[in-house]
């Protein structure tokens, strides 16, 4: 029997710092921080809801949640997360189980890393 090796999957996430700066410029620091914090909470909830819909086999619900997640991610500059959410929605609409499994796992990885990245970016704006 051969050796088993665990491969760590780590891919970069892209945060559009310019978009975050635009939010601050448009709203001011205090309001921008509030908006970004609310967006982070909504993104975290949307990730959890997407996972739950997938586990329940609710493809329509998963598609809706992934599309909402994509729109919200674009609004706050999380371009990697937005793109992966679009891919999840497409796989769910096609009922592509293998593709969905892969893209959903990627969504969770990118989602968690994106939330951390935008939090760090937000802290840097203060």
Tens of pLDDT, residues 41-68? 999 999 999 999 999 999 999 999 999 9
Going by C-beta distance under 8 Å and a sequence separation of 6 or more, which residues neighbour residue 19?
76, 77
Q: Is residue 2 part of a domain?
A: no
Eight-state DSSP code of residue 77: T
Threshold 0.75, pTM exceeds = yes
Q: Is residue 103 part of a domain?
A: yes
With beta carbons less than 8 A apart as the criterion, state whether 107 and 114 touch.
no
Q: Is residue 55 part of a domain?
A: yes
- Per residue in 72-97, pLDDT (tens digit) is 999 999 999 999 999 999 999 999 99
Burial of 19 (0-12, 13-18, 19+ CB in 10 A): middle
Q: Is residue 8 part of a domain?
A: no
* Structural domain of 97: 17-125
């Amino acid at each position: 029997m051969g050796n088993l090796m665990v491969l760590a999957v780590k891919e970069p996430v892209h945060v559009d710092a310019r978009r975050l700066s635009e939010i601050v410029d448009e709203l001011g620091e205090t309001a921008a921080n509030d908006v970004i914090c609310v967006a982070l909470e909504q993104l975290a909830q949307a990730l959890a809801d997407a996972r739950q819909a997938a586990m329940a086999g609710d493809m329509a619900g998963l598609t809706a949640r992934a599309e909402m997640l994509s729109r919200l991610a674009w609004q706050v500059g999380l371009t990697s997360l937005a793109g992966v959410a679009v891919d999840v929605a497409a796989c769910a609409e096609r009922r592509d189980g293998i593709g969905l499994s892969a893209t959903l796992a990627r969504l969770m990885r990118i989602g968690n890393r994106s939330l951390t990245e935008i939090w760090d970016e937000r802290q840097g704006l203060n």
